[in-house]
Amino acid sequence: MNFSDLGLAEPLLRAVRDQGYDVPTPIQVQAIPAVLQGGDLLAGAQTGTGKTAGFTLPMLQRLTEAKPLRDSRGRIAIRALVLTPTRELAAQVEESVRAYGKYLPLTSMVMFGGVGMQPQIDRLKKGVDILVATPGRLLDHHAQGTLDLSQVQILVLDEADRMLDMGFIHDIKKVLAALPPKKQSLLFSATFSDEIKALADRLLNQPALIEVARRNATAETIAQKVHPVGREKKKDLLAHLIRQGDWHQVLVFTRMKHGANRLAEFLNEQGISAMAIHGNKSQGARTKALAEFKAGTLQVLVATDIAARGIDIDQLPHVVNFELPNVPEDYVHRIGRTGRAGASGEAISLVCLDEDIFLRDIERLIKRDIPVQVIPGFAPAPGEKAEPIVLGRMTIGVGGTRRNAGGGQGAPRGGRPGGGGGARPQGQGAGQGSGGQRNQSGGQRTSSGPSPRGSSSGHGGGRAAQGPRGPRR
Ligand code: AMP
C-alpha cells in the first residue's frame, strides 16, 4: 500500500515524500480514505502510530477541495479546528499541518494559554483556515469575541482521553456548543472509558471505527525485564541500577504523588539528580523539570501515570516501573515511552511480592511473560510475605481479593484462577473495550486489526485459563 493508493492529491503526496515516508502506517491506511469520504471517525490510536498524518492529510485535502470561506468581517474563516490536551501537542500538530500542507494555499495557527493574547488576536485578524488549539485559551478568545467558530466544517479531538484526564470535559462541551451542528468530527483516543464513549455518542454521527494495536503491545524493540525485589530494598536497587548501568535519562513511574516526591528526594541524597512531576506541581515546575530532563541535565524524572500522560516525552532509553500500575493498560502506556521508531529501549519493573497480582494482570494483557532477573542482594528476604497494597480507599489484597478500605464489601475476583486482579477504582480497564463502543456508537468497523484493549476485556483470555502460575521466585 502506497500513499498514492489512498486517494491523496499530488501536493500532499509531494509533502509526504519530503517527509521521507515511504509507506502509510496502519492508522493512515484506514483513516485517510475514511476521512476523505467525509464521514465521522472514532479512532483508537495513540502517539507514535502516525495518527497526526492520519487526520491531517485528508483534512487538508478536503479543505482544498471545498471553496475557501470568509467570515462576517471578510476574513478567511476557520474551517478546521483541532483540539489537543497540551500546548506541546498543539505545537506539534500545527507543525505537521504546515509540513503536510506546504504545497497548498491554506493557512494555520496554533493557540494555547500561558502566552499573551494579543499576538494571537493579531494573527486571527489575518484569517486562518486551520486552527490548532488547547481548549482553555480557545474559550478565552471565544468569550472575548476575538474568534469566530461559526464556519468550522471539520473538528478533530486529538488525544481525547488525555483531555478528559486533564479535566477539560466542560471546556470541550462549551467548544462543541460554539460550533455548527453540521460538521465532520474526528475523535482520536488511546483508551475508551465510559466518559469517552459518552462524548463519542454525543458528538459523532455513524462514525467509522478504526482501531490499531497499541504500538508497543508487541514491540520487539523494548527489552522488558522484571527484577524481583524486597519491599524495603526498592530504592536502593533503583540507585544501584542507575549507577551500574550509567543511566543518564531515566523516567521512573510511581503510583502515588507522595511516593514520587520521596523517591526523588532519596535519589538526590544519593547524588543522582532527580525531580518529581505530578498534579500538585505548578506548570512552571513541570516545564522546568521536563526541559532539564530533555536537555539531559536532569538524570531522573519521577512521574505518576496521570502526570506523565500530560507531557510529551518519548524515545527514552530507560523506563523504570518503580511500582507497577494497578491498571494493566497503564503499563503499556508507560513502556511506550521507550523504544520508538526502531530505537532500542529498556523497560524495567521493580516488583515486590505485593505486586505479583499486578504483574499477572499485565502479562495477561500483553500476552507474554516478562523475563525475570534477580539482582544479587536485592531479592525478597526468604521469610518475606506479600502484604495488601492500599490505593486511596481501595485495598488490593494478597491473593487477588480487593475490598474497600472503609470496611465495605469484600469482593474476591471470580473466575480467575491464580487470583490476579488489579483494582480499577473508577471503572477503568476491563470490560469497557471496543465492543461497547461499537454498540453505542452504531458505526461500522473498518478494521480487522486487534483491539487496542488487548485481552483485558475478556478475563477468560490469555493464560487465565491455564491455572495458577507457580511462584515467580
Ligand atoms: P504521531 O503518531 O502522529 O505522533 O506520529 C509519530 C511519528 O511517526 C512522527 O514523528 C511522524 O513524523 C512519523 N510518521 C508518521 N507517518 C509516518 C509514515 N507513514 N512513515 C514513517 N514515519 C511516519
- Is 216 inside any structural domain? no
Is the CB of 49 inside a 6 Å radius of any atom of ligand 1? yes
**Other CB atoms closer than 10 Å to residue 33's CB: what's the count?**
16
For residue 207, the model assigns a pLDDT of 94
Residue 395 has pLDDT above 90, yes or no: no
- Please indicate, yes or no, whether residues 311 and 423 belong to a single structural domain of this protein: yes
The residues pairing with 350 across neighbouring beta strands, listed in sequence order, are 227
| Average pLDDT across the chain, whole number | 80
Q: What pLDDT score was predicted for residue 87?
A: 87
Q: Which burial class, exposed, middle or buried, applies to 312 when counting CB atoms under 10 A from its CB (0-12, 13-18, 19+)?
A: middle
The grid coordinates listed for 258 are 507522595
**Could you tell me the sign of the dihedral formed by the alpha carbons of 337, 340, 346, 351, in that order?**
positive
Q: Which of 6-10, 259-263, 365-369, 405-409 has the lowest mean pLDDT?
A: 405-409
Residue nearest to atom 18 of ligand 1 (CA): 21
Which is nearest to 330 in space by CA: 216, 417, 222, 460?
Answer: 216
pLDDT at 377: 95
Q: Is the pLDDT of residue 202 over 50?
A: yes
**Is residue 408 located within the same domain as residue 280?**
yes
- Same domain membership, residue 276 and residue 150: no
Same domain, 254 and 194: no
Q: How far is the CA of 49 from the centre of ligand 1 (A)?
A: 6
130 falls within a domain: yes
Cα 215–chain centre separation: 11
Domain assignment present for residue 262? The answer is yes
Predicted confidence at residue 267, as pLDDT, reads 97
Q: Which atom of ligand 1 is nearest to the CA of 92?
A: 4
Going by C-alpha positions, the residue among 170, 157, 181 that lies closest to residue 43 is 157
Ligand 1 centre and the CA of 314: distance in Å? 13
Tell which one of 25, 57, 189 to mutate to probe ligand 1, the residue whose CB is within 8 A of the most ligand atoms. Answer: 25
The number of folded domains in the chain is 2
CA angle 377, 318, 188 (to 5 degrees): 135
Residue 452 domain-assigned (yes or no):
no
Q: For residue 107, what pLDDT is reported? A: 97
The pLDDT confidence band at residue 63, using thresholds 50, 70 and 90, is: very high
Single out the residue in 211, 238, 264 at which a domain terminates: 211
The CA radius of gyration of the chain, in Å to the nearest whole number, is: 23
The verdict on 198 and 241 lying in the same domain is no
Q: Quote the ligand 1 centre to 381 CA distance (angstroms).
A: 46
Query: Would strands 410-412 and 184-189 be described as parallel, antiparallel, or unpaired?
Result: unpaired
Mean pLDDT of 270-274: 96
pLDDT the model gives residue 309: 67
114 and 10 inside one domain: yes
Domain annotation covers residue 461 = no
Against a cut of 0.85, is the pTM above it?
Answer: no
Q: Which atom of ligand 1 is nearest to the CA of 3?
A: 19
- pLDDT category at 340 given cuts 50, 70, 90 is low
Q: Grade residue 216 by pLDDT with cuts at 50, 70 and 90.
A: very low
Tell me, what DSSP letter sits at residue 70? B
pLDDT at residue 335, as a whole number: 85
Q: What CATH number is given to the structural domain containing 431?
A: 3.40.50.300
Quote the domain boundaries for residue 254: 222-446
For residues 196, 198, 204, 210, the Cα torsion angle rounded to the nearest 10 degrees is 40
More confident position, 335 or 138:
138
- 319 with 175, same domain: the answer is no
Mean per-residue pLDDT, 175-193? 93
pLDDT, residue 311, reads: 59
Give the amino acid at 17. Answer: R
Tell me if 52 CB under 6 Å of ligand 1.
Answer: yes
- Same domain assignment for residues 115 and 189: yes
Whether residue 473 is contained in a domain is answered as no
Query: Residue 287 has what pLDDT?
Result: 78
